[in-house]
Amino acid sequence: MFFFIIVSSNMPKTQINLEGWQDYRGNAAGSLLYVETSRQSEMPVRDQLNENEKGFLYEPNYETSTYGLMSCYNVKNINAIVRAKSRYILFGTRYEGLSDSEKRNKYLIMGYMRIDKIKDVRTRHIQRFMSNPELQEPECMQMEHNWAVYGPMHFVSMDDSFLVTDEILKEWGYKGHASRQLKAVFQKEHLDQILSFLDSKEDKIDEYIAIVDEFKEALEEG
């Protein structure tokens, strides 16, 4: 059996089988990773419905606390994060959801993941494709590795998200602009500020899961 259900105080969360996963020892750094997010939700959840025409997204997978296990997606970026030994992934987006908050259309960091374990899942994704040839050829088909990452996640509401601006990037000494192309790796001093800010806000991951579950049900209903 691949996974089983743990019943939390709020709603079920899927715990994966960690057999075959390697312990991960990362550096005190946080790599920024852009997330395509839904326009049909106040919460900046992943684009489960392909609203942005980038695919029906399953990553980050709040349900299993993984990235890259449930789907072969964004492989180059995840592989690069693992190679760089960043301990944290910081999830950012330009918010275009339902809220008319002043943070709308701004670049936000709405969550993070601490990488505790990694696993090369290239064979898993290729076998799935070979069994379902009508699927699109997976990105990892042409790669040597496809690392999936596992570890605790923390996601907050849009209003509680950390606002990234060109001014703060310049002040902290990072190149680039607050846009989807930003590839910043935040070092310990600045990483600690971002994590402390997010940790001071209520964790909304159960709401994230509930929203994407509704979206998945809508897709199944056609």
Q: Do the domain assignments include residue 219?
A: no
Confidence of residue 3 (pLDDT cuts 50, 70, 90): very low
Domain count of the fold of the chain: 1
Residue type, 86: S
How far is C-alpha 128 from the geometric centre of its chain's CA atoms? 22
The tens digit of pLDDT for each residue in 113-124 reads: 999 999 999 998
Mean pLDDT, range 18-44, rounded to an integer: 96
Q: Check whether 94 has a pLDDT greater than 60.
A: yes
Q: Do the domain assignments include residue 133?
A: no
User: What rounded mean pLDDT belongs to the chain?
Assistant: 91
Q: Do the domain assignments include residue 39?
A: yes
Q: Do the domain assignments include residue 38?
A: yes
Mean pLDDT, range 171-200, rounded to an integer: 96
The tens digit of pLDDT for each residue in 136-173 reads: 888 888 888 999 999 999 999 999 999 999 999 999 99
Nearest to 37 by CA among 23, 18, 51, 20: 51
Place of tokens 């060109």: 166
Q: Which residue has the higher pLDDT, 9 or 198?
A: 198
Q: In this structure, are strands 117-120 and 185-187 parallel, antiparallel, or unpaired?
A: unpaired
Going 111 to 41 to 102 to 204, the CA torsion angle's sign is: negative
Q: Do the domain assignments include residue 3?
A: no
Q: Check whether 9 has a pLDDT greater than 70.
A: no
The residues facing 16 across adjacent strands are: 3
* DSSP calls for 164-214: E-HHHHHHHT--S-SSTT---EEEHHHHHHHHHHHHTS---HHHHHHHHHH
Quote the pLDDT of residue 68.
96
Token pair in block for residue 156: 């907050």
Confidence of residue 99 (pLDDT cuts 50, 70, 90): confident
Quote the pLDDT of residue 50.
93
Q: Do the domain assignments include residue 220?
A: no
Residue span of the structural domain in which 208 resides:
21-125+138-214
Quote the pLDDT of residue 138.
82
Confidence of residue 12 (pLDDT cuts 50, 70, 90): very low
Q: Check whether 13 has a pLDDT greater than 90.
A: no
> What is the Cα–Cα distance from 135 to 89, expressed in whole angstroms?
28
Q: Do the domain assignments include residue 66?
A: yes
The percent of residues in the chain predicted with pLDDT above 90, rounded, is 76
Q: Do the domain assignments include residue 16?
A: no
> Lowest-confidence range among 6-15, 54-63, 137-146, 170-179?
6-15
Token pair in block for residue 54: 């980038």
Quote the pLDDT of residue 101.
86
pTM, 2 dp: 0.91
> What is the Cα–Cα distance from 129 to 50, expressed in whole angstroms?
20
